[in-house]
Amino acid sequence: MKVYVERDGQERALKMAKNMIASHFNCSKGEKAILEIFEDRLTRSQKQNKLYWLWLKVIEDETGQPKDDYLEAGKWHKGLHTRFKCDFIDKEFYKDGSQKIPSTKKLKVKEFSDYLERLDIYSAELGIKLPQPIDLYYQSMGIVE
């Protein structure tokens, strides 16, 4: 079990740790456990990216559509990643008028938040409930817990 803790939430974290330890020993036959604390070094945008690829994998598993572009019968097809970028990110065009494939790498934190929110709504419309691991979700969406 993993819990996201911020400096100003230490009292709450102590209570949660006590509950986690009690829960562990209630369910476990073992006499020992390891409690590990380490600094969270992922930036919000890294967390957004991690959450995004987790969500793409869930959508791939639910729909059978590959998350990456793929070659079939000698023709390239858009995977979920490319399709969502084309659907959810503002269009850009080359000088010849052809459309560029947008990149999520260029999105600012707020823009990526909006992108994730659109993906979440789209998935819900398909009946797919995306996991929202608390340590990734709140940080990715810019919500302070």
Separation of alpha carbons 28 and 26, rounded Å:
6
Could you state, in order of their start, the residue ranges of all structural domains in the chain?
1-39, 42-140
Q: Based on the number of CB atoms within 10 Å of its own CB, is 65 exposed (0-12), middle (13-18) or buried (19 or more)?
A: middle
List the chain pLDDT tens, one digit each, 145 residues. Answer: 666 677 787 888 888 888 888 888 999 899 998 888 877 665 667 888 889 999 999 999 999 999 999 988 899 889 999 999 989 888 888 899 888 888 888 888 888 889 999 999 999 999 999 988 776 677 667 665 4
pLDDT at 143: 64
Q: In this structure, are residues 56 and 80 in contact, taking their beta carbons and an 8 Å threshold?
A: yes
pLDDT at 135: 62
Element (H, E) at 75: strand 75-77
Separation of alpha carbons 97 and 89, rounded Å:
17
pLDDT at 66: 94
pLDDT at 2: 66
Separation of alpha carbons 128 and 121, rounded Å:
9
Q: What is the DSSP letter of 78?
A: -
pLDDT at 31: 92
Residue indicated by tokens 């008028």:
97
What tokens does 2 get? 């993993």
Amino acid at 7: R
Residue indicated by tokens 């600012």:
108
